């Protein structure tokens, strides 16, 4: 686990009071000072970590992104544009550039840097550095070559169907593990508040990385829920949060449930029906669950290549996550356990059957060889379905 102590724990407070006190604060100096602190505190760790912190100059970032050339643009969000770049050392980076300076944008920038600076986990996007001076606010991350999940489910990459069933399940488990780290391991605990398909990025191995911490909230010890202004994205918002601003870890669990249904079905969280009525993904799924017609829920692009038992249990987990009562929703740790259990069980069964067949195969005679081969391929086919 990343030692958060190296990061100024009161950085956000310091930042905010500094912002109020001196609108013209020298961010660049602040940035360097934090990095210096990180570097000093982490000199030993950095040697053993494959992820050293970097201090970027504006010149370096401009050079890496070809002056934020339009061709380098890889994403657009509420906060600003995201650009691909390559540093002089040959490292691929993604740079988020704040689009317009406002108190709200500045706050999102500070929150994202503060929170990403505290966390380190295989399923959370890695922060490489940031730059803040004058009107420029930049955040530098690891570049994720397989972009965000939304492009695979509904966007340009959806037609290529790069996400087969096992990949979808491992992305769901990965995103849940990233969240479990935020909710249960990070200190203080963190609520993400904007879990959705465009905020889950995919690395070269299609490993999920939860990103975009602009709306995240640090939860002081002992606090079970808070009331805040509603942030996040329609379709993913837990009802108690959307209606009364009651935020707790279980709001992220609700959003994760919606995301899980989206991963399984490639349906959007909210769909506009002819006549303008909106239907959410849970409403769409419910009749199929009632009729035990789980096959209809799976993304047609999978062409029936999914494990039925896994599909069923993933849908049931998602429905538990999206319960309208936050008290009844599971914790994200339970979700990880259930999803891993369902996938693990199937993998174990396949291995056991293959093993059994291998053993049978050792004693086979020439005459029953053909029958055995057929039986074996039948079993494989059955499990592959
Ligand atoms: N590290 C990255 N690697 C590749 N693409 C990225 C990266 N970070 C962001 N993006 C792309 O940019 C989009 C917007 O980034 P995000 O962090 O969600 O910003 P916003 O706060 O503006 O929503 C993402 O949905 C994704 O497509
Ligand atoms: Mg986003």
Q: What is the pLDDT of residues 178-220, one digit of tens each?
A: 999 999 999 999 999 999 999 999 999 999 999 999 999 898 8
Domain boundary residue, one of 115, 142, 169: 142
**Count of domains for the chain:** 2
* Number of the ligand 1 atom closest to the C-alpha atom of 198: 25
Q: Please provide the size of the chain in residues.
A: 385
Quick one: 351 and 371 in the same domain?
A: yes
Quick one: 106 and 247 in the same domain?
A: no
Quick one: 160 and 200 in the same domain?
A: yes
**Helix-helix angle 332-362:366-384, to 10 degrees:** 170
Quick one: 111 and 22 in the same domain?
A: yes
Pairing of strands 208-210, 278-280: unpaired
The mean pLDDT of 250-265, rounded to a whole number, is 98
Q: What is the CATH number of the domain that holds 31?
A: 3.30.200.20
- As a whole number of angstroms, the distance between CA 358 and CA 87 comes to 51
pLDDT digits (tens, 9 = 90+) for 61-87: 999 999 999 999 999 887 789 999 999
**Nearest listed ligand to the Cα of residue 148:** 1
Coil vs helix vs strand at 163? coil
Instruction: Using the predicted structure, report yes or no on whether residue 160 has a pLDDT greater than 50.
Output: yes
Quick one: 183 and 329 in the same domain?
A: yes
Whether 303 has a binding-site annotation, put simply, is no
Domain boundary residue, one of 114, 142, 170: 142
The residue contributing the CA closest to ligand 1 atom 13 is 75
Nearest to 194 by CA among 126, 259, 122: 259
Q: Do 265 and 314 touch, CB atoms closer than 8 A?
A: no
User: What domain range is 303 assigned to?
Assistant: 149-384
Higher pLDDT, 375 or 359: 359
Give the pair of three-digit tokens for residue 302. Answer: 């999978």
pLDDT at 225: 74
Residues 6+ apart with CB under 8 A from 28: 131, 132, 133
- Mean pLDDT (the chain, rounded): 81
Q: What percentage of the chain has pLDDT greater than the value 90?
A: 59
Q: Is 203 labeled as catalytic in the residue annotation? A: no
The mean pLDDT of 76-102, rounded to a whole number, is 91
Residues 6+ apart with CB under 8 A from 276: none
- As a whole number of angstroms, the distance between CA 151 and CA 198 comes to 8
- As a whole number of angstroms, the distance between CA 132 and CA 29 comes to 9
pLDDT at 362: 45
The mean pLDDT of 369-378, rounded to a whole number, is 33
Domain boundary residue, one of 85, 107, 142: 142
pLDDT digits (tens, 9 = 90+) for 258-280: 999 999 999 999 999 998 899 99
**Nearest listed ligand to the Cα of residue 78:** 1
The rounded Å distance from CA 295 to ligand 2 centre is: 31
Q: Do 131 and 83 touch, CB atoms closer than 8 A?
A: no
Residue with tokens 């993604």: 94
* Number of the ligand 1 atom closest to the C-alpha atom of 125: 1
Ligand 1 shell residues, CB under 6 Å: 74-75, 77-80, 82, 94, 96, 125, 141-144, 147-148, 198-199, 201, 211-212, 214
Quick one: 136 and 35 in the same domain?
A: yes
pLDDT digits (tens, 9 = 90+) for 125-154: 999 999 998 889 999 999 999 999 999 999
Quick one: 78 and 209 in the same domain?
A: no
Read off the pLDDT band of 355 (50, 70, 90).
low
pLDDT at 121: 96
Q: What is the CATH number of the domain that holds 345?
A: 1.10.510.10
Catalytic-role residue among 142, 194, 212, 323:
194
Give the pair of three-digit tokens for residue 236. Answer: 């993913």
Quick one: 194 and 131 in the same domain?
A: no
């Amino acid at each position: 686990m990343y030692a958060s102590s190296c990061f100024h724990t009161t950085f956000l407070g310091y930042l905010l009071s500094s912002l109020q006190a001196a609108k013209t604060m020298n961010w660049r100096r602040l940035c360097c000072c934090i990095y210096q602190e990180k570097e000093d505190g982490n000199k030993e760790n950095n040697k053993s970590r494959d992820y050293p912190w970097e201090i970027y100059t504006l010149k370096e970032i401009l050079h890496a992104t070809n002056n934020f050339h339009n061709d380098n643009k890889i994403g657009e969000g509420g906060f600003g544009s995201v650009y691909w770049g390559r540093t002089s050392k040959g490292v691929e980076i993604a740079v988020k550039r704040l689009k317009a300076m406002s108190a709200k944008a500045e706050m999102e920038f500070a929150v994202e840097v503060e929170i990403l600076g505290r966390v380190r986990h295989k399923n959370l996007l890695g922060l490489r550095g940031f730059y803040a001076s004058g009107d420029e606010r930049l955040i530098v991350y690891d570049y994720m070559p397989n972009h965000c999940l939304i492009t695979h489910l509904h966007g340009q990459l959806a037609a290529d169907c790069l996400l087969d069933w096992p990949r979808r399940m491992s992305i769901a488990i990965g995103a849940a593990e990233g969240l479990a780290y935020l909710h249960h391991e990070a200190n203080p605990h963190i609520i993400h508040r904007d879990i959705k398909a465009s905020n889950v990025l995919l690395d070269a191995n299609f490993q999920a990385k939860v990103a975009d911490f602009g709306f995240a909230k640090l939860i002081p010890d002992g606090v079970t829920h808070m009331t805040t202004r509603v942030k996040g994205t329609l379709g993913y918002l837990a009802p108690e949060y959307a209606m009364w601003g009651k935020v707790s870890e279980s709001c992220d669990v609700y959003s994760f449930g919606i995301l899980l249904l989206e991963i399984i079905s490639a349906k959007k969280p909210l769909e506009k029906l002819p006549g303008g009525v909106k239907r959410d993904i849970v409403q769409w799924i419910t009749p199929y669950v009632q009729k035990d017609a789980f096959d209809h829920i799976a993304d047609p692009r999978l062409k029936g290549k999914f494990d039925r038992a896994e599909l069923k249990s993933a849908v049931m987990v998602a429905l538990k996550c999206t319960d309208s009562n936050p008290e009844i929703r599971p914790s994200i740790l339970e979700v990880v356990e259930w999803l891993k259990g369902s996938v693990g069980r199937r993998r174990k069964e396949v291995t056991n059957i293959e093993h059994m067949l291998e053993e049978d195969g050792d004693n086979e005679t020439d005459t029953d060889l053909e029958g055995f081969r057929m039986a074996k391929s039948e079993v494989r086919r059955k499990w592959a379905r």
